[in-house]
Amino acid sequence: MKKLIKNLFLISFLFILLILLVDHSTSLIINKNANFKIKSNPKYLIFGHSHPSCAFNDSLIHGLKNISKSGESYFYTYFKIKNILNQNKKHKIIFLEFSNNFINKRSDHWIWQNKTISTSYLFYSPFMELKDKYIIFKNNPLGFINNTSISIFTKVKRIVSGNYDYIEGTGEYLKLKRNKTEQILKYYSLRKIKKNSKPLGTAKINIAYLKKIIDLCSQLKIRLILVRSPLHPKWKYFKNEANYKSLLKTKFKNVEYIDFSNFKLKNSEFGDLNHLNYKGANVFSIWFNKLLERGLLEKKNISEFVKNEIKIQNSLSYK
């Protein structure tokens, strides 16, 4: 009996070792051949989740490439930025979304929830170290284990087919056509939310990887600017604004920041309370492009400059 248990243990150990070996070797091959080159060679890149993906229509903003993706946490954005900067050596200016829902404790769950593991993790796993994978395993062991074989199969499939093109799956401008704002305001009025509702908490891992992005850009001498896309004034996550402003003043006080959240738009130009639809994106993107053409990024205080420009724009809008 003892011999049987010993043999079973040995077989299990060798099987796990084989899986780790195949996983590591396929990752090495993909790392060597993966293509993250951007053909258009843009001057500006914008990263983040669905907010900038829906807000910045890069066809209307000269020199900008939108590589944002819905539901993406800083954890996965870090690997995206790292690979893109490594393969696009010319000087770039990076805009990175920094919205209220990015700092909530719940945003950490975006990293290891089952849906994300089966999409973002499978996509970026070849570029992760063991310590990065352990974060996912520790918080969702079943989800991680269930997708390990899929991850290996996906990598083997890429290698066999010679498909090393990764840039196409990293993100893009999302032309949102819906307009649910009036419906949301009518049936889910934010005025019903109690002021003393349960605190949203502060993300730890998501914020930690934001710091890694900032450090990476600093090391590569890439200019990084945090931005907050236009938001509807009734958006529920404004309730953590105090915490949001506190993080900006403490942990990110040395990082450039532009706040577009107060940019005035019609309800019909929002897809919902935190996403612009294509109508709103067109209005905002044309306005933002004009600011760039006027030398926005050469201003001494870009944050104050934009704040004043928004006031002017809002005073002229929809009179």
Q: Report pLDDT for 47.
A: 98
Strand partners, 223: 93
What Cα–Cα distance (Å) separates residue 224 from each residue in 96, 141, 157, 215?
7, 34, 35, 10
Q: Is residue 94 helix, strand or coil? A: strand
Q: Report pLDDT for 41.
A: 87
Domain boundaries along the sequence of the chain: 45-103+171-316
**Entry pTM:** 0.91
pLDDT tens, position by position, 29-55: 999 999 999 988 899 999 999 999 999
Q: Report pLDDT for 4.
A: 61
Report the amino acid identity of residue 34.
A
**Secondary element (H or E) of residue 224:** strand 223-228
Q: Is residue 129 helix, strand or coil? A: coil
Q: Report pLDDT for 191.
A: 59
**What distance in Å separates the CA atoms of residue 111 and residue 72, rounded to the nearest whole number?**
8
CATH architecture of 45-103+171-316: 3-Layer(aba) Sandwich (3.40)
Q: In b/e form, how buried is each residue of 262-282, taking b as 16+ CB within 10 angstroms?
A: ebbbeeebbbbbbbbbbbbbb
For the chain, residues with pLDDT lower than 70 are 1-20, 188-199, 317-319
